[in-house]
Chain A
């Protein structure tokens, strides 16, 4: 495990005119995949662009791979890969031509043909960038971010607007990067993306980090998880409760409709179904509702994430 965090942000402030986009933000990202979650205008992109050296902070300190992104930019740039939200390519350039060009700016780039193949860009052929589909442009931007074999990759909304298949291909690549020891900072407003990919999630709202932890840690806090099942009315919930762990509850909400609340895990599900088996109950439906990052976000901010 790398001892030094890949990104360290302390008391970061960024103002645009009278508007404060980042308001005393603290963030430590360790090696691995860190997702920065938040609604539009929360300060995600400002924070990431400060880490990339595009903007100077108004206050606070930022270290990326231990370097100051503005003063030590020349040292930092070869070590990071950046995927912009859009654009970044000459409108007349072909996908493989642009990727080959970015590769040439690095000392030990990835094999361009293999990367083109992997991201399904081979079909772009001799098409100019401006005529590529949005998904193809997106995948090219991703390829440009990783082709230089960086230690740390910044991905800004990497799967926005992708179809499910391209989205999975992108997720697979992020997992492979992680497995090979590349750290990733990704901004997203897709909860499932953060849940699927991230070791750590930082939730940002109004220019501050309001929650930080692994997806499991974040989901464990707040509201309890629930299990619902249907059976014949009037079951003995008291007997069910005895079979369950101490901090659980079991109620018949409406006749024939039961809810179990508590730490919903495979063991609890097995307990409920074996209780049903012992009492000759055939559940006509059974469902597990886990607390998602979406719920966590809603509770913390009172806002829908995708607005």
Chain B
């Protein structure tokens, strides 16, 4: 059977890797921005918290404008909402609906898919930071400190939350992930030093809460941006610990189907 060059005549081949990863990251970002619940979590809630709590002095945080306390916490919350909550829910349902299974037989390698997911998370975070920073400035925010430390905190925070989010998405059922990820978001919003300072909690509780990734991230950001401190190594250490534990466990236990 000699094959005449019909329209379906085989001409297989993978696209160049950078093109595949860019296409995958663009698609994942579009899916996220199109999803109403995800936008509520990543954009609406952090922005509302920032605006509401800056204008109404509900929580006593000591000296200085409340927005100086609040903005770093809301940035930490934004990172958590995208890298942990959003990523866990989206990936959980991709697994449930066979998206991960279908992509596994495409020319895109698994590590390429994970790279694309990370890029998509980072792109979303950049958009969140731009929006929240603009709102905070409009509310009279005056940040200090070293941009490099801020960047380092955001990146390590993203790694820590991504590992935990993917661990959840890759091991639990999609519905369980949805419920658990939202619950964790809510609990950490209250107990993670985002809007309520940790020193409002009893000392024993405070020490435990301080080891949570969102507490470490908001504490570190606050130290730099509010108080102009140097590189917050302790907080970076906590985040690095979570990142190693989360990513290792995710790599070990993630089930693709």
Contact = CB atoms under 8 A, between A and B. Distances in A.
Interface in A226-262: none
Please indicate which of the listed interface residues B5, B7, B20 has the most CB atoms of chain A within 10 Å of its own CB. Answer: B7
B101 A54 contact: yes
A110 B7 contact: yes
Contacts of A144: 102
B206 to A, nearest CB: 41
A78 B13 contact: yes
Nearest to B90: A90
Would you call the interface of chain B mostly helix, strand, loop, or mixed?
A: loop
Contacts of A52: 105
Question: Which one of A77, A80, A110 has the highest number of Cβ atoms from chain B below 10 Å of its Cβ?
Answer: A77
Contacts of A89: 97-99, 102
Interface string A1-42: 110000000000000000000000000000100000000000
How many B residues touch the partner, as a band? 35 or more
A31 B8 CA distance: 15
Interface stretch (A161-169, A176-184, A200-208): A176-184
Nearest to A149: B11
B97 A77 contact: no
B1 interface: yes
A82 B31 CA distance: 23
Interface stretch (B106-114, B235-243, B246-254): B106-114
Nearest to A118: B7
A54 B1 CA distance: 31
Given A87-B98, A150-B12, A181-B9, A104 B105 contact: no
B94 A180 contact: no
A88 to B, nearest CB: 3
Interface string B23-39: 11001001100110000
A80 B14 CA distance: 11
Contacts of A91: 93, 97
Given A92-B34, A104-B15, A104-B20, A82 B6 contact: no
B64 interface: no
A82 B12 CA distance: 13
B98 A77 contact: no
Contact of B31 (A77, A90, A102): A90
Interface string B76-115: 0000000000000000011001110110111111000000
B14 A78 contact: yes
A158 interface: no
A104 B108 CA distance: 10
Contacts of B6: 176, 179-181
A151 B10 contact: yes
B102 A82 contact: yes
A265 to B, nearest CB: 27
A108 interface: yes
Nearest to A130: B97
Residue among B8, B27, B94 with max Cβ neighbours from chain A (10 Å): B8
A101 interface: yes
Given A106-B107, A144-B102, A176-B6, A90 B27 contact: yes
B98 A86 contact: yes
A1 B15 CA distance: 29
Given A88-B99, A90-B97, A92-B31, A176 B10 contact: no
A91 B37 CA distance: 14
Contacts of A78: 12-14, 107
A277 interface: no
A270 interface: no
Interface of A: 1-2, 31, 52-54, 74, 77-80, 82, 84, 86-93, 97, 101-102, 104-108, 110-111, 114, 144, 146, 148-151, 176-177, 179-182
9 contacts: A78-B13, A86-B98, A87-B97, A110-B7, A111-B7, A148-B106, A151-B12, A176-B8, A181-B6
